[in-house]
Amino acid sequence: MDAHVSDVVRAMTEASDQERISFAEVVMALMEAGVERYHADLVTSTKTYYMPDGSYEELPCHPVGPVAMAFSAAGVEAAVRAIQGKSIKYREFCRRIADAGCAYYVVALTGQRAIYSGRTGDEHVEWFPGAR
């Protein structure tokens, strides 16, 4: 990963953690930088950003706390709708999806979707608005 992209992913991680930027703004900045996808691990409090050439960068991010054992796709979807409706911000979103049993999520920028996964492999897919 080159220095410019590294600067972008660091800035997006910090801006998200500080709730200064929307998901749409993060997606746009990462796509413009050429990032293929990123993985947010709610258990280890890390985000890993991947480039098409296989290079990557792992960064610490804000801790969320414990992740529920049982996965609730409905709980994840409710949190997504709440943040889309701007009734909650990013940290509350992370807390809610962790309470719904989401251990990590992958944002596939080139695939235009976010995949939320539980401890046992259960998943919920959210397509970007207008995708499919």
Judged against a pLDDT cut of 90, whether residue 130 lies above it is answered with no
Phi–psi pair at 34, nearest 5 degrees:
90, 10
Residue 77 within any structural domain of the chain: yes
Instruction: Give the dihedral sign, CA 69/74/79/84.
Output: positive
Structural domain boundaries, residue 109: 3-127
pLDDT (average), residues 18-33: 93
Question: What CATH number is given to the structural domain containing 57?
Answer: 3.30.1810.10
Per the domain annotation, does 132 fall within a domain?
no
Q: Is residue 85 part of a domain?
A: yes
**pLDDT average, residue stretch 10-23:** 94
Tell whether 67 is covered by a domain: yes
CB atoms < 10 A from the CB of 37, how many?
Answer: 20
d(CA 21, CA 69): 30
End-to-end CA distance of the chain: 29
What tens digit of pLDDT does each residue of 55-89 get? 999 999 999 989 999 999 999 999 999 999 999 99
Number of domains in the chain: 1
Q: Is residue 11 part of a domain?
A: yes
Note whether residue 34 is domain-resident.
yes
Q: Pick from 104, 31, 99, 24: which is nearest to 65 by CA?
A: 99
State the pLDDT at residue 122.
Answer: 97
- Residue 129's pLDDT band, with cuts at 50, 70 and 90, is confident
Would 10 be classed as within a structural domain? yes
10 Å CB burial of residue 86 (0-12, 13-18, 19+) is: exposed
Q: Rounded to 5 degrees, what are φ and ψ at 29? A: -65, -45
Residues 6+ apart with CB under 8 A from 79: 88, 93, 96, 97, 100
